Amino acid sequence: MSSKSTFSNSTSKSYALAFYELANENSALDQVEKEMISFIKLLNESLDFKKVLINPMITKEDKENVLLRILKQNNYSEDSKKFLSFVASKNRLFFLDKIIESFLNLVSIKKGELKAELISSKDLTAPEQEKIKNELSESFKSSLNIDYKYDPNLIGGLIIKVGSVMVDTSIKTKLKKLEQNMVEI
């Protein structure tokens, strides 16, 4: 692992911890968690917005102004505005994805949730995702925080990862195993 990667990970975790403590101290953890989930979604859906935040040619003051306008338009809490404004003022917006990811992981850990990844070949509806989440929570006897991804390349089936446990029922994997077996013969 490069020193730059280690620096970004440790810096992101430090910012995330500070943000967690701020939100927890102000009893706004649930609200801030929801806002950060929607903010990540916004970053992923609006590449123009993301490009503005990481563009080195745009001053940190201009980035902070754009960021605050977006947060105000979407009625973000004062805690979220203050923290994200602070990150912008320190010119650390290029770490923002990692900071928020670390923050959300920290919230999950503090809630006692297990982190799970669900990848499906079919675009699952919210009720379908919720049903799978409930069944997995029951099986693992713990609440889960599921990161859902749709991957049509799987052809059919699901891939579920919870901690070190992985269940892969995808047709893509079955075809690869069949191909390997045929090559060995």
The full set of domain ranges for the chain reads 3-109, 114-184
Containing 104, the helix (H) or strand (E) segment is helix 96-111
pLDDT at 3: 47
pLDDT at 172: 81
Type of residue found at 173? T
Q: Between vectors from CA 163 to CA 159 and to CA 167, what angle results, nearest 5°?
A: 25
Q: How far apart are CA 151 and CA 158, in angstroms?
A: 9
Q: By three-state DSSP, how is residue 167 classified?
A: strand
Q: Which residue has the tokens 């949730």?
A: 113
Q: How far is CA 102 from the centre of its chain?
A: 8
pTM of this structure: 0.70
Q: What is the pLDDT along the chain (185 residues), one digit of tens a residue?
A: 444 556 577 888 999 999 999 999 999 999 999 999 999 999 888 889 889 888 999 998 999 999 999 999 999 999 999 999 999 999 888 889 899 999 998 998 888 888 888 899 889 998 999 998 888 888 888 888 888 899 888 888 888 888 778 888 888 888 888 888 888 77
Total residue length of the chain: 185
- Cβ-proximal residues to 161 (8 Å cutoff; 6+ apart), any chain: 116, 117, 167
Is 20 within 8 Å of 79 (Cβ atoms)?
no
Fold for the domain defined by 3-109? Peroxidase; domain 1 (1.10.520)
Q: How far apart are CA 98 and CA 104, in angstroms?
A: 10
DSSP letter at 93 equals G
Q: How far apart are CA 133 and CA 159, in angstroms?
A: 13
Type of residue found at 15? Y
Q: Between vectors from CA 25 to CA 21 and to CA 26, what angle results, nearest 5°?
A: 120
Q: By three-state DSSP, how is residue 160 classified?
A: strand
pLDDT at 6: 61
A 10 A CB-CB count for 138 gives 10
pLDDT at 67: 92
pLDDT at 156: 83
